[in-house]
């Protein structure tokens, strides 16, 4: 890929939102010819309300490092603390904060600061009972709350086309159903490129990657990669071959509607249980 020439198209600074599909196509035609650093530099100059969402995977860490060299004021980070992260992941959050001095906004499930509070509200092992509801309350809702409270218009992601599944046809810039801009600066990089950059630039990384893990998420849904496991995300959602996303990159409105329906059903069931208990106590 080559950087933009003097004949590169011009865009308003900042971009005027919302973006029409014609403008999205024009932007992508331009960004596809840039390096990841070029895409990030373009975004810093043009995209309003820009943040980076990250779970501190390798690709996100590469973007953090690149941004630290592009601008003295990189976009703040948003980290969704599901309350079920590995200790090594939380250690990495602190290491990144110290190394890059970038603001990190941490969001947790609504009304919950601890696992105990979460399980008192939703029960134990919610991910086993209702995985979609779990994804919504620990990831999707906190993320939307972050976007609303921080006035986020666009987020930098660590998604890449080589990760496959729904990401195979990834573009450098996308707009989701809520109007949120998602910038994917390393969309064209393969995993070996990412590993090379991390090593060459001494980028902090999760210690679990040296212990047989390829991709790290919540402790209960992350396993070490077995011999012969294919794919860089091997070990995530083990035994659930149909699951490829945690909910942050699927249709928000569909997930919200499904989650609210289930939460209402659970509330009705609890009210019925209390009513029966009251009657039986008389």
DSSP assignment of 87-125 equals HHHHHHHHHHHHHH---EEEE-STT-SSHHHHHHHH-TT
Q: How many CB atoms lie within 10 A of CB 213?
A: 20
**Beta strand 173-175 with 50-53: parallel, antiparallel or unpaired?**
unpaired
Q: What is the 3-state secondary structure (H, E, C) of 144-164?
A: HHHHHHHCCCEEECCCCHHHC
- Tell me whether residue 112 is one of the annotated catalytic residues: no
Q: Cα–Cα distance between 43 and 46 in angstroms, integer? A: 5
**Beta strand 181-183 with 173-175: parallel, antiparallel or unpaired?**
antiparallel
Contact 104, 98 (CB under 8 A): no
- Among candidate residues 43, 61, 170, 246, the one labeled active-site is 246
Q: Cα–Cα distance between 76 and 64 in angstroms, integer? A: 10
Residue 74: exposure state from Cβ atoms within 10 A (0-12, 13-18, ≥19): buried
Q: Cα–Cα distance between 140 and 163 in angstroms, integer? A: 21
Residues labelled as active-site residues? 246
């Amino acid at each position: 890929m080559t950087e933009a020439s003097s004949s590169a198209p011009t865009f308003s600074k900042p971009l005027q939102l919302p973006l029409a599909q014609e403008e999205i196509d024009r932007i992508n035609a331009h960004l596809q010819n840039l390096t990841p650093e070029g895409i990030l530099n373009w975004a810093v100059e043009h995209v309003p309300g820009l943040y980076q969402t990250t779970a501190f995977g390798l690709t996100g860490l590469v973007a953090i490092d690149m941004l630290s060299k592009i601008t003295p004021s990189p976009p703040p980070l948003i980290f969704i603390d599901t309350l079920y992260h590995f200790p090594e992941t939380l250690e990495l959050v602190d290491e990144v904060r110290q190394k890059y001095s970038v603001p990190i906004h941490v969001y947790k499930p609504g009304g919950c600061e601890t696992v105990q509070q979460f399980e008192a509200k939703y029960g134990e092992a919610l991910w086993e009972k209702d995985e979609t509801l779990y994804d919504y309350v620990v990831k999707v809702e906190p993320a939307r709350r972050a976007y609303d409270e921080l006035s986020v218009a666009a987020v930098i992601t660590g998604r890449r086309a080589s990760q496959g599944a729904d990401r195979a046809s990834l573009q450098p810039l996308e707009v989701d159903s809520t109007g949120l801009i998602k910038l994917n600066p390393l969309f064209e990089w393969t995993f070996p490129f990412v590993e090379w950059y991390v090593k060459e630039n001494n980028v902090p990384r999760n210690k679990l990657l040296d212990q047989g893990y390829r991709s790290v998420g919540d402790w209960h849904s992350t396993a070490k990669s077995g011999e012969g496991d294919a794919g860089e995300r091997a070990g995530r959602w083990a035994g659930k071959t149909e699951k490829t996303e945690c909910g942050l990159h699927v249709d928000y409105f569909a997930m919200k509607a499904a989650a609210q329906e289930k939460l209402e059903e659970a509330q009705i069931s609890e009210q019925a249980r209390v009513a029966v208990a009251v009657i039986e106590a008389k």
